[in-house]
A and B are shown apart, each in its own frame.
Chain A
Amino acid sequence: MQPYLDRVLDDEQVREAEAHLDGCEYCRRRYRYEVSLRRYVRTAAAEKMPAELKAKLAAMRTPLQ
């Protein structure tokens, strides 16, 4: 399930996984659940970088001659 979700399978393996999902209600539910959990982690964890930090990093650049 994990490599399929993370899109690291080759075409043949993807076909196999999808054929299985088509016929297995349990795995389909699990798949939908895993996808939404991942989406949740990504969006809920998104924290914007403070503008002051960005300014500090920018100030660390080499001064132009």
Chain B
Amino acid sequence: MSEPTQTEARRIAEEARDRVRFEEEALDLSDQVFRVARHLVGSREEAEDLMQETYARAFRSWRSFTPGTNLRAWLLRILTNLNIDRGRRQQRAPQTTSIDEHGDYYLYNKLEDAEPKPLDEERVIERLSQGSIVDALAHVPHDFRDVLVLVDIGDFSYADTAQILDIPIGTVMSRLHRARRILKGELAEEVAS
């Protein structure tokens, strides 16, 4: 075997090894990616489709991932872009203004009102059911929900979230604040109804 051919064979072997490693690492993260994906779209079926598209694209363009950087954020970036591209998001008319105006403590007050005597803050939250969060999140307009889901469920930093969604950090912070307010309003509505 001549020298260049050997070099070429080694290069191919190294690339195959890097590729296998990349795919294994991406697959190991799929549970965490799904947890976020599930709440970026309306239904479990949509989340499953989006996951498959995301992994298909990730496996195809694995060379554009820089080893040593945040792979989970890289996968979520693909996923959020695909989600936007496909226009799957159901645009909702912004009818959340009245809820939003109730302010930060609205849910707490609402929950506390339902009790005969004052409760600890922690106990108040326990009155919410598991299912109510899914419905409440689905009612948060998508621009706000994306930020909330990435930070509070995905546990991403403001900086990672900004990069994933391609928006400034200041926007992440303001949308997050607004998203949490809307979420609290939605939860309060559910408690009240």
Residues of A within 8 A of B (CB): 2-3, 6, 8, 29-30, 32-33, 36-42, 44-50, 53-54, 56-58, 60-62, 64-65
With known contacts A2-B177, A6-B158, A47–B20 Cβ distance under 8 A: no
Would B137 and A45 count as touching, CB distance under 8 A? yes
A33 is contacted by which of B108, B134, B153, B158 (Cβ under 8 Å)? B108
A19 to B134 alpha-carbon distance, docked (Å): 36
* Most chain B CB neighbours (cut-off 10 Å) among A32, A45, A46: A45
A-B contact list, 30 entries, CB within 8 Å: A3-B173, A33-B108, A33-B121, A33-B124, A37-B125, A37-B180, A38-B152, A39-B125, A40-B125, A40-B128, A41-B152, A44-B128, A45-B38, A46-B35, A47-B35, A48-B31, A49-B51, A50-B44, A53-B30, A53-B51, A53-B52, A54-B27, A54-B30, A54-B31, A57-B30, A57-B51, A60-B59, A61-B59, A62-B59, A65-B16
Residues of A within 8 A of B152 (CB): 38, 41-42
- Contact indicator per residue, chain B 49-82, by CB within 8 Å of chain A (1) or not (0): 0011001100100000000000000000000000
CB closest chain-B residue, reference A33: B121
Residues of A within 8 A of B184 (CB): 37
Residues of B within 8 A of A40 (CB): 125, 128, 133
B60: shortest Cβ distance to chain A, in Å? 10
Indicate whether B98 reaches chain A with its CB closer than 8 angstroms.
no
Residues of A within 8 A of B176 (CB): 2, 6
Interface residues of A: mostly helix, strand, loop or mixed? Answer: helix
Indicate whether B182 reaches chain A with its CB closer than 8 angstroms.
no
Q: Which of B100-146 contact A (CB under 8 A)?
A: 104-105, 107-108, 120-122, 124-125, 128, 130, 132-134, 137
Residues of B within 8 A of A (CB): 16, 19-20, 23, 27, 30-31, 34-35, 38-39, 44, 48, 51-52, 55-56, 59, 104-105, 107-108, 120-122, 124-125, 128, 130, 132-134, 137, 149, 151-153, 155, 157-158, 173, 176-177, 180, 183-184
Would A29 and B39 count as touching, CB distance under 8 A? no
A41 is contacted by which of B23, B121, B153 (Cβ under 8 Å)? B153
Residues of B within 8 A of A29 (CB): 121
Would B125 and A45 count as touching, CB distance under 8 A? no
Residues of A within 8 A of B134 (CB): 44-45
